[in-house]
Amino acid sequence: MSTENNSELLFKNSVKILTDLISFKTISGEDNNSLIDYCDKILKNLGATSFRTFDDDKKRVNLFATLKAKNSSNKKPIILSGHTDVVPVSKGWSTDPFTATIKENKLYGRGSCDMKGFIACTLAFAPIYSQSNLDRDIHFSFTFDEETACQGAPILINELKKRNIKNGICIIGEPTNMKIIDAHKGCYEYTTYFKGLAGHSSAPHKGVSAVEYASRYVNKLIELREKLKERSPKNSIFEPPYSTLSIGGVFGGIAHNVIADKCHVNWETRPVIKEDAIFLNNELDKYTNEVLLPEMKKIYSNATIEKEIIGEIIGFDREEKSEACEFVSSITGDNSREVVSFGTEAGLFQEIGISTAVCGPGSIEQAHKIDEFIKLEEINKCLNFLNGVKNKSIQK
């Protein structure tokens, strides 16, 4: 068979697999077992070994599969990593979001670019890896619930640590138009709940207004936001250069004349360095425990302030010399490095010593939107890249 036909077949398979993947409605938080079964089956049929890690009720699954090297060398293993969840769909799609539809060289469907497109390419390419004389392991890492503050990946990372898989080159195929992303800020989200004592507004001293204490808490956050600016690291690569903080919402109270007994505040911070997040939380917890809570308890001993962690996606730090970035550059010929404003699982892999780059097909512009699509040429670009990975993973 000619190379021409081979690449055509490869492309067709990628589209077929992507079509299948899109049909699994793996919205974050939902059961993704059938999608994982589907991926696992493809890889197992090629001789891959795999293991799964789960959430507490085994509803959501991570898959880690390996095509073993035929001739071991000292080359580091490659991890091709993608998340299997997609964001919810809102009304207004021109096509069924869970039925892949090709129009004008674009494939439409929820998850087409973010990021089932990448997963489909890796699965379509897997038969070629399995037939190659690999001199390093190639891993496939498919996680759940990345879109909801990376809930799945930490469970997988824990298992990797246990199995001593802490050395490697990880490519996270988030949609970057196959450009290399080598850093992003962290993204930490919290909800803080205030429980006070209801009462008649005419006697504020007899109640504990959850809304008023929440307001003071918000003020403290805004005060700390200024401190974060002062802590801005020199030569920061980010825009803005400092850690940001934002109040997403304050919810509480039922009427003008009732002291509110409940209130909660949604807020988030995007630290440029991990220390900022630690500083912020320490200062905040101190204010809560030493100032606000004792005041509330003086009137009502059952008063509480509880900070719930919605998610703490650690930042992805730029490395002066990143093996993963250099690996990708050596294949794509693109030596540029970019910083993005969205979060990924990259920092989690980096944290255990795995060199990581974010690079994948499709554009983030189309992600999380109505009529999400991936350009078909992006699929080909990704397949070319995966072919480059093969060339760098066989004995010559």
Which structure tokens are listed for 81? 């990593």
Site for Zn ion (CB under 5 A): which residue of 114, 137, 276, 317? 114
The helix (run of H) or strand (run of E) holding residue 263 is strand 262-270
Q: How far is the CB of 340 from Zn ion (least distance, A)?
A: 11
Q: Which residue has the tokens 């997988």?
A: 156
Nearest to 345, CA basis, from 163, 168, 174: 174
The footprint of Zn ion on residues 215-274 (CB under 5 A) is: none
| Strand order across the beta sheet in which 78-83 lies | 49-54, 61-67, 138-143, 78-83, 169-172, 355-358, 181-184, 338-340
268 burial (CB, 10 Å; 0-12 / 13-18 / 19+) is middle
Binding residues for Zn ion, rule CB under 5 A, total: 3
> What are the DSSP calls for 307-353, one per residue?
EEEEEEE--B---SS-HHHHHHHHHH-----EEESS--SHHHHHHTT
Tell me 70's DSSP state: S
Site for Zn ion (CB under 5 A): which residue of 115, 123, 208, 359? 115
Is 85 tagged catalytic? yes
Strand, helix or coil at 40?
helix
Q: How far is the CB of 186 from Zn ion (least distance, A)?
A: 16
| Nearer to Zn ion (CB atom), residue 115 or residue 250 | 115
The footprint of Zn ion on residues 165-194 (CB under 5 A) is: 174
Catalytic residue (one of 145, 146, 312, 378)? 146
Catalytic residue (one of 85, 145, 212, 351)? 85
Binding span for Zn ion by CB under 5 A among 96-104, 110-118, 240-248, 281-289: 110-118
| Nearer to Zn ion (CB atom), residue 174 or residue 351 | 174
Q: How far is the CB of 187 from Zn ion (least distance, A)?
A: 13
372 binds Zn ion (CB under 5 A): no
Q: How far is the CB of 29 from Zn ion (least distance, A)?
A: 15
Judged by the rule CB under 5 A, the positions of this chain that interact with Zn ion are 114-115, 174
**Catalytic site residues?**
85, 146
